[in-house]
Each structure stands twice: as structure tokens, then as C-alpha cells.
Amino acid sequence: MLLFDSHCHPQFPDYDQDRGETIKHTLKEGIFMICVGTDLETSKQAIELAEKYEGIWATVGLHPTDIHETYNLKLETWEELLKEDKVVAVGEVGLDYYRVKDNKSRAKQKEALNQFLELADKYRKPLIFHCRDAHKEMTNLLSEWCSIHDRDKNTNHLGVVHSFTGSMEEAKKYLELGLYLGFNGIITFTNQYNEIVKYAPLEKILLETDAPYLTPVPFRGKRNEPLYVKYVAEKIAELRGLSYNQVAEQTFENTKRLFKITNPK
């Protein structure tokens, strides 16, 4: 049974000692990966991995916690990366008000997010959104953007809110906007999101690990890896009363659909 880890960072230094091994044993188990960039450097590294391995795709983006008061987004640089063959999305980008408290930096995050939305639009790519403690600002910004750009939620797959940790109400808002929700190991060690996992249409759920972070049960305390995405699939199956295969198959299709991956291998 094939699985898609729609959000992981195998390019991070955590895997410097065993990156090749980690990737190979994951692919051997039939698990494909979207390797997500968080700044210029890790975006380039994501592209390198995608070029090296079949079964890995890359995204390019700048994490909101890396955007500071004086940050100047060099659009041309990002555009060059977006033209690369195996780049399937812009991300991760978004708003993080949990770690960033000062208003100028927060305003800068919004400005950058708007710029990345324009870039994604220009290159017809979906986005991977990171959002922490800023769901209200995020949904406002996105609905405004969608209405200005005349985006129809039924036909236009804007992107995914990765590592979703908002409320039920916020989940509903995102779903109304046509967004997907990404769930990871968090749902294996807290019950807090059970109702949302059950409520969201299965066609709108993506599996992810966010490896090397957020290691699921039964490996809490150890480094996470993309291979463990199967525990996320198991948990969703358990919560929704479905078989593991049903969850694996549907979320695999969802990932292909959102990132326009027609012939994964």
C-alpha cells in the first residue's frame, strides 16, 4: 500500500549521518515524500533531493519565523526556484504569532505571505501554509485574497494548512475556502483534534510527519522520520472507523490531486 508523507524535511541536518539510508528505506516501503523548504537554503536542498530520488518532490518557501522586521523578499530568487521541474508547491509560508510577538515582524509576515500567494498564482502552484496562533488573521487574509482573485473553492486547490492545530471553527473556515488539512503525529499523542479528524471530509485530509519533528506514538522522544507516516494513517483510520488501506489510498489520491503529481514513481 502506497503512502504519501506530504510534509517532511529530510534535507535538515538531523539526517546528515544517515540521510541516504533514511530516504531509501522509506521509498522501499512505498512511501513517497514532499520535501518542504523553509528558507532559501533548505529549499535548494529540497530540490536537490527531489532531483536525486524518484518518489521525492520539493517545495520552496520561507517559514514565517524567518521573516524579520527588515526582511526584503527577493522575488526573482524564489521565481528561479519555482521554475525547477520537481517543485510542486510554494511553502512552507504563513503566519506564526506564537513565536513572533512584535507587531512589525507580524506585519512583515503578512506582507511576505501576500507576495508568496502572488508567486504561487503566477506559477499555478498550490501552497503549504504554516499557521500558529494566527488562524483568524490567516483565514481573513486568505478569503480576501480568494475573493480578489475570483478563486472558486470547488475547482481551485489553493493549498493545505499543514500540521493543523486550530479549533473546529477554524477548521471549518479553511474547508470552506477549499483548503486541505494536514495531520501528523500530534494526533497520536493528544485527543484534542479527534473531532476535527472525524469531521473533515476524507478527500480533504493529507498525511504528514513534519519529520524530524513531532514524532508519533510509539516513538515519542526519538527523531521522527517519514516512514512513521503510517502511524498517522493508522490513527486516522481508527478515529474514523475505516480501514488503514482506505485512509492510505484516499490520502494518496488527495496528495496527487493537490500537488498535480500525475504519475508518481
The C-alpha atoms of residue 88 and residue 20 are separated, in whole angstroms, by 22
Where residue 250 falls (left for φ over 0; alpha for ψ -120 to 50; beta otherwise) is alpha
CB nearer Zn ion, residue 138 or residue 146: 138
CA-based end-to-end distance of the chain: 14
Asked if residue 210 binds Zn ion (CB under 5 A), the reply is yes
Asked if residue 5 binds Zn ion (CB under 5 A), the reply is no
Would you tell me the crossing angle of helices 135-148 and 103-122 to the nearest 10 degrees? Answer: 40
Window 167-206: contact mask with Zn ion (x via CB under 5 A): ----------------------------------------
- Give the CB-nearest residue to Zn ion: 210
CB nearer Zn ion, residue 5 or residue 210: 210
CB nearer Zn ion, residue 88 or residue 146: 88
The count of chain residues that interact with Zn ion, using the rule CB under 5 A, is 1
CB of 229 to Zn ion, least distance (A): 13
The C-alpha atoms of residue 122 and residue 26 are separated, in whole angstroms, by 33
CB of 14 to Zn ion, least distance (A): 12
The radius of gyration of the chain from alpha carbons, rounded to an integer in Å, stands at: 17
Site residues (vs Zn ion, CB under 5 A): 210
